[in-house]
Structure formats: structure tokens, C-alpha cells
Amino acid sequence: MTQDAGAPARPPRPTAVTVASWMQIAAAVVLLALLGLVLWQAIEWNGEIDRAARLVPDADPDEVSGERVGNIVMSCVLGVPALLFAAGLLATARGVRRGSNVARILVFVAGGLQLLAACAQGGLSILFIPFLFALGGPEEDWNSDIPAEFMPEESGFMRELYGDGSDPAGDVLFGAGSLGTLLVVGLTLTAVVLLALPSVHRWFVPRAAEQARRAPLDPTYPPAFLLPPGYMLCPDPRAHGLPPLPMPAAPMPAASQPMPAASQPMPAASQPMPAEPAQPATLPMPPQPMPATPTEPDPATPPPAAPDASQAPQGPQAPDAGPPPGS
């Protein structure tokens, strides 16, 4: 099976994924060991029932069958969930190592169910604490004058089966089961924490696919128009050259030309307004000096002397005139 060329390349498997899968396998092995203890206890208790039935020949068959049914029911209640959890952890461990996100989610579900079961057992144990205080009064306060007919009579089969109530093997089995249950819950929750790390999440869900699924649209740059299906864009528009220039528009007919005949006569065009004569362009004039203000002669100042005839300016001469006299 070949990988699709368009699919994003998966990075190498993180170490946390490998450790989590081995923890799942370890939890499954502990569950199978607990299942073996449950089966061993069921077989041993069934042997005790047979021994008590042989020692008490007149035992009630209903009591014997009731003990056998209770033994089978308790074994199923404890063994079937352990078997299902072990099978689920082993199956998901293989999927986790291969990068299956579904297997990773199933591990989360298994860890949540185990934590819920542990909390439920602890909560039910707390509910029995008030009854322990209620029944824990001193012995001298008990009323021992109870008629014998109201006391249940214990059969010989029950006395032979349970004896004085001491069961060392049962105590060892209970301690081993409690320790194994805590170990399974701890291993499963550790695997859940490792599989929830961000680096592990990026390995199960590739970054390219995640970004393509979660990338929001940019509202600041909307497309100008939508292209129809099949309309291809050229990556280099310069390869096609410049677009042709637009054709000039046809000239409009002059007002003096006759309009084509129509069913209704067209109104005469309005006469153009006479244009104003063009004004000649004016050149800028140089600035003129301000005229001097006439002042009265000072009586103390002598009048200017009359100009000499030799210094008087001569007027323009005619081209045919001779030199002036006396020259």
C-alpha cells in the first residue's frame, strides 16, 4: 500500500506514543492476571462448596445451589469487565502505534470509564460509614434477651462452609486485587496523559490537514469576483502580450446634416450660442515710476542759469541739410 502523494507526510513517531502503547500492554497484562486470580478463587470456592456438601449429607439442595450460583455471578461481575478492558487496551495499543486517531480516542474513553468506576467504588464505600458508627455501640448496651424463635438458625452446611469466618487465602486475594486495580488505573491514566500531549496530537492529526480544516477566511481581502468552473488562470499574463487598444468611437453626425427621415419630424436643433470675440493677449507692463510731487522754489535758492547756445540740444536734422552755421 503506497502513500498518496497529495497527503501530508507524517513525522516520525514520538517517544511518548511508544511509551503509552507499552503502558497499555502492561495494564492489559495486569488485568489478565487479575482475571486469573478471579478464576482461581471461583474454582477454589466451588471446591469448598463440594467439601461442605459431602460433610453434611442432609444439606438443603437449595442452599448448595444458591452458593454455586452466587459464586458464578460474582466471578462474572469481576472477570468480564477485566477481560473486556484487557482486550480493548491490547487492540488500541496496536492502533496507537500505527497512528490511528480512533484508537487514541478509545484509550481516552477507557481511561475515563476506569476512573469513573474507581470513584464510584470509593463513593459507595463512604456511604457505609454512617452504618458502621450506628452499629458500633458498646456491647453492654445490646439487648441480649431476644427470643430464640426470632434468631435465624444457621444450618450445618453454612457452618461447615464458612467456619469461624477466617479466610487467609481470601484476604490475600482481596489485597492483590485492590493493588492490581490501582496499578491498572494508574497505567491507563498515564497513557492517556501521554497521548494528550500537543506533540503527540500533531502526530496523530498532521499539521497540514489541521490547518486546512481550521484556517478561517480572511474578511479583509474578499475576492472581486467568482470564477466559473473550468476558467483557468494563466500564471504569467505577460506571455500573451498587451491587450489591443480600444477602437475609436464613430463620430456623431453634425447638426447641419439632415437626419434620416422618420415617421415623425424631428425638432430643429437649437442654434449654437455666438462665441465671444477673442481678446488680444496683453503683455505685462513694466512698473512705472511715481510722478514727482511739484514743490515750490525756495526763495533763498538762486534760479538755475539759462543754458548756453552751444550747449543747447540740437533738434533732429534733415538728411539733406548741411552742417549748421559757424561749424
Residue 8 scores a pLDDT above 70: no
How far apart (Å, rounded) are the C-alpha atoms in residues 88 and 98?
Answer: 16
- Tell me which residue has cell 526763495: 299
DSSP string spanning 295-310?
A: -PPPTTSPPPPPPPTT
Q: pLDDT: is 138 or 45 the higher one? A: 45
130-143 residue pLDDT tens? 766 665 555 555 55
141-150 residue pLDDT tens? 555 565 555 5
Sign of CA dihedral 106, 110, 113, 119: negative
To the nearest whole percent, how much of the chain has pLDDT over 70?
Answer: 50
Q: Is residue 188 part of a domain?
A: yes
Closest by alpha carbon to 192, among 13, 3, 27? 27
Range 139-168 average pLDDT: 66
289-324 residue pLDDT tens? 665 555 555 556 666 555 555 555 555 555 555 555
88-111 residue pLDDT tens? 999 999 999 988 889 999 999 988
Domain count, the chain: 1
Q: Is residue 324 part of a domain?
A: no
Dihedral of CA atoms 29, 31, 37, 42 in degrees, nearest 10, equals -140
Residue 174 scores a pLDDT above 50: yes
Q: pLDDT: is 79 or 164 the higher one? A: 79
Average pLDDT, the chain: 72
Residue 115 scores a pLDDT above 70: yes
Q: In which element (H, E) is residue 229 found?
A: none
Q: For 34-38, 133-137, 178-182, 266-270, which range has the lowest pLDDT when averaged over its residues?
A: 266-270
Task: Provide the pLDDT for residue 159.
Answer: 80
Q: Is residue 181 part of a domain?
A: yes
Task: Provide the pLDDT for residue 247.
Answer: 72
Task: Provide the pLDDT for residue 316.
Answer: 53
Collect all residues with Cβ–Cβ distance below 8 Å to 60 and sequence separation of at least 6: 155, 157
Domain containing 90 equals 15-129+156-210
What's the helix, strand, coil split of the chain in %, to 5? 55, 0, 45
Range 54-74 average pLDDT: 88
Q: Is residue 227 part of a domain?
A: no
Q: Is residue 150 part of a domain?
A: no
Task: Provide the pLDDT for residue 2.
Answer: 45
Range 189-205 average pLDDT: 90
Residue 45 scores a pLDDT above 80: yes
Q: Is residue 299 part of a domain?
A: no
Q: Is residue 34 part of a domain?
A: yes
Q: Is residue 68 part of a domain?
A: yes
Residue 22 scores a pLDDT above 90: yes
